[in-house]
Chain A
Amino acid sequence: MEEKKTYEASVKELETLVERIEDPNRTFAETMEDIRRGRELVEQCREMLRTTESVIAKQ
C-alpha cells in the first residue's frame, strides 16, 4: 500500500510529471500513465487542501 505523501511531496511529484508530459520524447503510453498519476495527485492535493480549510473553519 502506498504510503500517504505530504502535500509538498505530492506537489513536487506533480510538477515532475507535468514537466515529463511536456517532454516530446516521451511515448504516448508513458504520457498517458503520467497523466493518470498526475490526476490522482491533483485529487489528493485538493483533498488535503479541503481538509485544512475545514480545520480552519472549525476554529
Chain B
Amino acid sequence: MRMQIVAATVVAALSISAPTHAEISESDNQEIKLLKQQLDSLKHDYESRIQALEARIEATAINAQEARSQAQQVSQELAQKPARPEQGKVSSNSFNPAISLILDGRSTSIDETELSLPGFQLGGEAGLPEDGFATGHNELVMSANIDDTFYGELSTAIVREAGETEVELEEAFIETLALGHGLTLKAGQFYSGIGYLNDVHDHAHDFADRPLVYEALLGGHLLDTGVQVSWLAPTDTYLRFGAEFLSGSEYPSGDNGSNAEGFSLFAKTGGDINASSSWQLGASYYTAEFDVREAGGHHHHGGEEESGADNELLNGEVELYGVDFVYKWAPQGNPRERNFIFQAEYFFRDEDGDAEFVEGADFAEAYYDGEQYGYYAQAIYQFMPRWRIGARYDYLNADNDISDYVDGGIPLDEFLEESGLGDEGNPDRYTLMLDYSPSHFSRIRLQYSQLDTGHEGADDNDILMLQYLMSLGSHGAHKY
C-alpha cells in the first residue's frame, strides 16, 4: 500500500511540474503528450508491479501459515518416528481378524441342578448352572471384513463339562457388505434374528443366565444353519424385515430328511423418543417340521445319559410367535453416568407330534398337541459409574393335549411326568442382580434367583451366583 502512495506522489509531482512553462508551442504540446504517455505508462507499470507485489505478500503469508502447520507436523512426526519404527510398514499380521476373548467364571450355590419344567420337553442347551466353582462359556470370537464384499465371523465356546473340555461352535457365518439398497445376506451357522436376545451372545446379557422362556421354548437360543436375508426400509423410522431359510434340525425342531425345513420371519422397528430415550419393537415367527426330536436338555452334568429312557417326538411340527420390546434411557443420551434399560419378550409356541417313550421293555405312545407361552420382563439401572442393579421376572405356561394314549407298561401319570409333557404347574422365577464394571472390559456380578418349577410339592430352587466376565482383545461392538 505504501508503495502505491509513493508512486502516486511521484506521478502527481511530475504532472504538476509539467505545465509550469508559460508558453506552450505545438512542439511543446507534442512533447507534453509524449511525456504524458510516458508518465501514464510509468504509472501503469508501477500499479501492476505493486499489485504483483501485494499478491506475493499475501501468498507468502498463506504459505507461511501452511509451512508452520507443516513444520509442526514434521516435528511431531520426527518426535514419533523413533518410537514407531513400524509406522507405514505393512506386516502380514495387520490383516489378522479382530480377536476377542471372553473369560467367564462362576461360583454357584444351587439347591437342584437338574432343570425340569412341567409341560416343556427341554432341548438344546437348556439347563441350570453347576453347583460350586465352574467356568462358563469362555468364548473366542474372530471377525473381519473379508474383502469389500463380505464380512465373516467365527465364534466358539470353550466349556468344561462332566470333566471334559469341549469346543462348541456357536456361530460361523459370512455376511454381505456391498449389496446396497438396504439388503444384507447372511449365510452359515448363526443365531436366528428372531426375538431380541436370541442373537445376543450370553456374555452380553444383563443376567448370568438366560430368560426361562428362552430355555424352555428355544433351548437357550435358536441356533441353526442356513441363509438370512434382511432388508432395511429407506425410511427415517427404523424398519427392518428379515427372513431365514434354516436347516430346521435344531431345537425346538429336530432331525428331518431334507435338512432344510426351518423358516422364520422377523420385523423390527424403533426410534428415538427424545435425546434421552429410544425404543425398539420386534415381532417374529418361526416354523419347522421334523421327523425326530430327542427330548432332554443339554445338562451340564450329564443328566441325559443317566436316565436310560428314550424320549422322542416323531413326525412333528412346531410354530413359534414372538413379540419383543426394549426401551433405553440415559440423561441426554449419555449412558456413562446413569442409564436405564427395560426389556420384555413374549413367545408363544404351538407344536404337535407323536410322542414316544421307551424305558427298557416298557413303552408309551400318544399324540401330543401343545400350546405353551412364556415371557420375561427385566429392568437394569446403572445408578452410578461402574455399578448396576437389575431385576427380572420370568413366567411360563403350558397347555398340552395328550390323546390316543397307548400304554405299553407305563401308566399315563408316569408318562406325563417323565416325558416332560404333563402341564401340572406354571414355572416362574424372580431374579435380582448387582454388577460392578471396573472398566469397559471387566464385570463382576452377583445374582440371586428363586425358581419355582411348578412341580407339585417341589421347593423353590434358590440360586446364588458370583460371576466374572472379562473381555480381552478387540472392542466387541454390541447391538442395541
Does B associate with A? no
Residue ranges of A at the interface with B (Cβ–Cβ < 8 Å): none
